[in-house]
């Protein structure tokens, strides 16, 4: 794309780089690319006004937020019923673990047996489903009315239902204390009242810690993007440096090679002369040691 009269100011360049790194992560564009294609940069800036931080359009992001709110609402409703179901099942499991305990009263046994009977009949009734929607014959020929006959007496059920919230509350309190001691082992020796006070603030503490973890992950992601950009820039700078070094080597080596050769020849010539002089000195030293002054005078007289 050819360059036009449009030019990005410094602030616009910073905004555009944030858009490319957050809202448009596939656009791995450098500052040089953006400067060379100003009209494309202008297009990206225009698109950023119609997108949120995640890169979705504003209308689609609004619909997504609404959908997530509904999902969280349904999830919360399901979790409440699921937690209650599991707590009741754990109550029955604990009862069968303690069934050999002689400390269990007749009321405890009556409560758990009534609860178990009511729970089983309700689950089996749900498995049968409405009779008008079944195409196949019912399992074992059972009808809903047959199962309702197995319900505990109404007075036992009313008594059990009145006691059930207290038992569920006690079971949930044990779970909360267990979670608190796992999060803060030092709380294991605290008084029950102090534990309850800490449990009251535990949810807020966990939410804050979760938010801190998410913020740390976001910062790590930003740092990774920045590190990748710096690594790419560093590699490009290294390549340019290597190119410059190669060019300098090629250009200056040819210019200085002749001078280096001349200096090397002079050095070798001087070194050769020094070796010749050293040999001559050794020769004269040998002669002087072999022939004394008297011997030289006798040889001169003989000649």
pTM > 0.75: no
> What whole-number distance in Å separates Cα of residue 48 and Cα of residue 20?
9
Query: Are the CB atoms for 188 and 181 separated by under 8 Å?
Result: yes
Residue 13 pLDDT grade (very low, low, confident, very high; cuts 50, 70, 90): low
Burial annotation 236-272 (CB, 10 A radius, 16+ → b, else e): eeeeeeeeeeeeeeeeeeeeeeeeeeeeeeeeeeeee
Query: Are the CB atoms for 115 and 138 separated by under 8 Å?
Result: no
Instruction: Name the one residue in this structure whose structure tokens are 């997530």.
Output: 68
- What's the sign of the alpha-carbon dihedral 241, 245, 250, 255? positive
Tokens, residue 272 = 């050769």
Residue 132 pLDDT grade (very low, low, confident, very high; cuts 50, 70, 90): very low
User: What is each CA distance from 167 to 88, 130, 151, in whole angstroms?
Assistant: 9, 32, 21
> What whole-number distance in Å separates Cα of residue 11 and Cα of residue 26?
22
Residue 73 pLDDT grade (very low, low, confident, very high; cuts 50, 70, 90): very high
> What whole-number distance in Å separates Cα of residue 219 and Cα of residue 253?
49
**What length is written for the chain?**
303
Residue 188 pLDDT grade (very low, low, confident, very high; cuts 50, 70, 90): confident
Query: What pLDDT shows up at residue 3?
Result: 41
> What whole-number distance in Å separates Cα of residue 202 and Cα of residue 190?
15
Alpha helices in the chain (DSSP H): 10-18, 31-36, 38-48, 58-97, 106-128, 144-148, 154-183, 192-290, 293-302
pLDDT tens, position by position, 252-288: 776 677 778 888 899 999 999 999 999 999 888 888 8
Q: Is 41 exposed, middle or buried (0-12, 13-18, 19+ CB in 10 A)?
A: buried
């Amino acid at each position: 794309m050819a360059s036009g009269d449009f030019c990005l100011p410094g602030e616009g360049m910073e905004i555009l780089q944030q858009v490319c790194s957050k809202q448009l992560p596939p656009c791995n564009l450098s500052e040089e690319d953006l400067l060379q294609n100003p009209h494309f940069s202008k297009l990206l800036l225009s698109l950023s006004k119609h997108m949120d931080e995640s890169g979705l359009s504003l209308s689609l992001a609004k619909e997504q937020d609404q959908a997530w709110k509904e999902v969280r609402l349904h999830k919360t409703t399901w979790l409440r019923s699921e937690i209650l179901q599991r707590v009741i099942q754990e109550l029955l499991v604990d009862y069968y673990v303690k069934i050999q305990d002689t400390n269990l009263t007749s009321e405890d046994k009556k409560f758990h047996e009534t609860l178990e009977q009511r729970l089983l009949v309700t689950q089996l009734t749900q498995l049968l489903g409405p009779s008008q929607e079944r195409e196949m014959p019912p399992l074992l020929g059972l009808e809903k009315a047959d199962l309702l006959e197995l319900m505990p007496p109404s007075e036992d059920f009313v008594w059990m239902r009145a006691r059930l919230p207290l038992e569920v509350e006690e079971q949930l309190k044990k779970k909360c204390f267990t979670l608190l001691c796992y999060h803060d082992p030092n709380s294991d020796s605290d008084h029950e009242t102090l534990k309850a006070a800490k449990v009251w603030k535990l949810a807020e503490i966990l939410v804050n810690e979760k938010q801190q973890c998410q913020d740390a992950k976001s910062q790590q992601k930003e740092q990774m993007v920045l590190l990748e950009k710096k690594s790419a820039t560093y590699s490009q700078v290294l390549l340019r440096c290597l190119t410059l070094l190669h060019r300098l080597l090629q250009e200056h080596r040819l210019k200085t090679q002749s001078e280096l050769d001349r200096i090397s020849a002079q050095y070798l010539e001087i070194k050769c002369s020094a070796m010749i002089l050293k040999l001559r000195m050794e020769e004269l030293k040998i002669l002087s040691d072999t022939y004394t002054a008297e011997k030289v005078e006798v040889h001169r007289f003989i000649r």
